[in-house]
Amino acid sequence: MAYQAKDYTSLIGIPGFSETLLKNHFTLYQGYVTNTNKVMDALALMLKEGKTATAEYAELKRRAGWEFDGMRLHEYYFDNLGGKNPMNKEGKLAKKLAEVFGSYEAWEQDFKATGAMRGIGWAALYQDNMTGGLFNAWINEHDTGHFAGCAPILIMDVFEHAFMLDYGLKRADYIVAFFKNINWDAAEKRIK
């Protein structure tokens, strides 16, 4: 099954994100889609040829998580960008955030603090599929730091490629721009 890169050019023009930054980011994302397909194809061929006991097969199996998660996390990220409306304070996401964190503001403070931590990675609002609870988490690399059995509700890319062209080292300014552009409808649809 070949994955297809989604078209996110409709995001060009959102405030706080230059066209150059977005186009570079889309190209990076398309590379993850291409490499996911290459890795999956190579693994399928090695399985067919009976080469599963090789070091090459093992390394490709390990690489698959990096490429696939890089593809999918970017899709979550781009899908939850481009919003023009504030969060629906009567929606299930707002109510759940207030229930778990005490208030939307407390959640936002924690999410922003998570995204501002030193290092490269992703800030994620997760929902635990077993308990329904929400929590913010740091994903260090695409394929490490995910919480088993949890669904991503909101994803913020905090790898340098997501902000350095426009903000340099001012990650906090990028986070402010991200929050101004959250597509809360996309996040709302992800919560159960």
pLDDT of residue 144: 87
Q: What is the mean pLDDT of the chain?
A: 96
Q: What is the full DSSP assignment across the chain?
A: --------GGGTT-TT--HHHHHHHHHHHHHHHHHHHHHHHHHHHHHHTT-TTSHHHHHHHHHHHHHHHHHHHHHHHHHTB---S---TTSHHHHHHHHHHSSHHHHHHHHHHHHTSSSSSEEEEEEETTT--EEEEEESBTTBSPPTTEEEEEEEE-SGGGTHHHHTT-HHHHHHHHHHTB-HHHHHHH--
- Average pLDDT on 43-65 reads 96
Q: Which residues contact 96 (CB under 8 A, 6 or more apart)?
A: 127, 132, 134, 191
What token pair was written down for 103? 């208030």
Q: What domains can you pick out in the chain, each with its CATH number?
A: 17-192 (3.55.40.20)
Report the pLDDT averaged over residues 165-171.
96
Predicted pLDDT of residue 143: 86
Say whether pTM exceeds 0.75: yes
**What's CA 23's distance to the chain center, in Å?**
17
98, pLDDT greater than 80: yes
Question: Residue 5 and residue 27: Cα distance in Å, rounded?
Answer: 10
| pLDDT greater than 90 at residue 129 | yes
Please give the pLDDT value at position 1: 67
- Among the residue ranges 1-5, 53-57, 88-92, the one predicted with the least confidence is 1-5
pLDDT, residue 3, reads 97
pLDDT tens-digit readout, 133-151: 999 999 998 888 889 999 9
pLDDT of residue 187: 97
